[in-house]
Amino acid sequence: MKTPTTIVFSPRFTITPAMAGALMRIEAVRQEIGALPITPRVLASLRETARLFSTHYSTMIEGNRLTQEEVVRAIGGHVHFPGREHDEGEVKGYYAALDEVERLATRGDPLTSSHIQRLHALVMSNGKTRVKASPWRDGQNVIRDANSGRIVYMPPEAGDVPALMSELVAWINEESALPVPLKAGIAHYQYTTVHPHYDGNGRTARLLTTLILHRGAYGLKGLYALEEYYARDLKAYYEALDVGPSHNYYLGRAAADITKWVDYFLEGMASSFEKVRDQARREATKGGRDQSKLLRNLDARQRRALELFRDSSEITAKDVAGLFGFKERTAALQCQRWTESGFLEITNPARKSRRYQLGEAHRELVEREFGE
């Protein structure tokens, strides 16, 4: 029989010398990346690569069979994978959820339970963007060892989930002296502990981590993929999350000392940041002015569309269709929306030969990058 739930989220851990060192490394990289001059084209390319890496590795952790190259092709819409439709849907869903993370981070509104439920809905959407927020689970679920089938963790009962998630959201939103990386790592742990959905909890926890870091000015221009660190050694990832004297939430997990997890998380974040720094240093030597603020206002498709203007100052809806694997009617509607937002301008209004150029601000950006 369970004990009453304590609705006072108070994570217990000890700051170790290793954690303090990792925090210093993270901060040093954050400051350096902020000052490095990275050209617009390179920044857009690196951001897109990081998003694709995040998508590949986060879904791979859950057993997705698509390779990195296949993930790129699936998201581009250029090819389908018979017999692996579920895998294809997973990567499209995660990629769509990353778009939502960027949107939420840019808006800067206080986090709500509905935001998290929408992220989860996108994760499970097969790439659809019009989704209803996922409700919390309404029954018990368990986590079993894939090989033996034994129960390795029993989350809290469904009736406690809404209060526990509201508590976590309030804790994330509250102003505190806790460093943002610590807050992100603890939120990841608590989300997986509550396990508020039947499926998709791991992917949503990793997205929540990214959202907290971006909201707290640790987005690092969107250039890192923490998921790669986890996926490189899944045994270490799961062992770090597996803390507490019992597999039952009410018999130890809720009040467990999570020092081991926090230590693991911060080391992973520091390592991931340093990898980005080394790459950014190499790219920065090529010169050019950083346009990250302007690029942050573009969604993923707009960033990819910039590549169409590398060799031509004008494009057509057919060019957009070819880039994204759209039908031409869908591409024409996309161009219309981009025109209304100012991202594109019409240069030839004739319906059958309509052509577009970039809006002035983005035209200057591309000219600085690709112009001789």
pLDDT tens, residue by residue, 306-316: 888 877 778 89
> At a CB cut-off of 8 Å and minimum separation 6, what does 119 contact?
97, 100, 101, 204, 207, 208, 211
Lowest mean pLDDT among 18-22, 129-133, 233-237: 129-133
Same-domain check for residues 223 and 338: no
Has residue 278 been placed in a domain? yes
Same-domain check for residues 175 and 42: yes
User: Given a cut of 70, is residue 194 above it in pLDDT?
Assistant: yes
User: Given a cut of 80, is residue 73 above it in pLDDT?
Assistant: yes
Same-domain check for residues 231 and 253: yes
User: Given a cut of 50, is residue 344 above it in pLDDT?
Assistant: yes
> At a CB cut-off of 8 Å and minimum separation 6, what does 208 contact?
116, 119, 187, 188, 191
Of the candidates 116, 137, 90, 312, the residue with the CA atom closest to the CA atom of residue 212: 116
Q: Which pLDDT does position 92 carry in this prediction?
A: 93
How sure is the predictor about 159, in pLDDT bands with cuts at 50, 70 and 90? Answer: very high
Has residue 101 been placed in a domain? yes
Beta bridge partners of 154: 248
Has residue 7 been placed in a domain? no
Same-domain check for residues 280 and 325: no
* The last residue of a domain, from among 247, 262, 284: 284
Same-domain check for residues 313 and 280: no
Has residue 2 been placed in a domain? no
Q: Which pLDDT does position 370 carry in this prediction?
A: 52
CA distances to 78, 95, 144, 152, 330 from 56, in Å: 17, 9, 24, 26, 26
Same-domain check for residues 351 and 246: no
Token pair listed for 325: 């694997």
Same-domain check for residues 150 and 108: yes
User: Given a cut of 80, is residue 75 above it in pLDDT?
Assistant: yes
- Ranges 68-72, 110-114, 127-131, 300-304, most confident: 110-114
Q: Within 13 Å and on the Cβ side, how many CA atoms surround 206?
A: 30
CA distances to 50, 118, 212, 268, 278 from 232, in Å: 15, 28, 23, 11, 19
- The mean pLDDT value for 70-97 works out to 88
Q: Does residue 168 contact residue 160 with C-beta atoms inside 8 Å?
A: no
Task: State the chain's mean pLDDT as an integer.
Answer: 86
Q: Which CATH number belongs to the domain containing residue 352 in this structure? A: 1.10.10.10
Has residue 128 been placed in a domain? yes
Has residue 305 been placed in a domain? yes
* The last residue of a domain, from among 223, 257, 284: 284
Q: Which pLDDT does position 372 carry in this prediction?
A: 41
Q: How many domains does one find in the chain?
A: 2
Q: What is the pLDDT of residues 123-138, one digit of tens each?
A: 999 878 789 999 999 9
* The last residue of a domain, from among 238, 262, 284: 284
* Residue numbers of the domain that contains 345: 298-370
Same-domain check for residues 114 and 182: yes
Same-domain check for residues 278 and 310: no
Same-domain check for residues 280 and 311: no
How sure is the predictor about 290, in pLDDT bands with cuts at 50, 70 and 90? Answer: low
Same-domain check for residues 238 and 316: no
Has residue 3 been placed in a domain? no
CA distances to 20, 89, 95, 121, 162 from 128, in Å: 41, 9, 10, 9, 26
Q: Does residue 295 contact residue 40 with C-beta atoms inside 8 Å?
A: yes
Same-domain check for residues 217 and 340: no
Token pair listed for 302: 């707009």
Lowest mean pLDDT among 122-136, 278-292, 325-339: 278-292
User: Given a cut of 50, is residue 1 above it in pLDDT?
Assistant: no
Has residue 348 been placed in a domain? yes
Q: Which CATH number belongs to the domain containing residue 47 in this structure? A: 1.10.3290.10
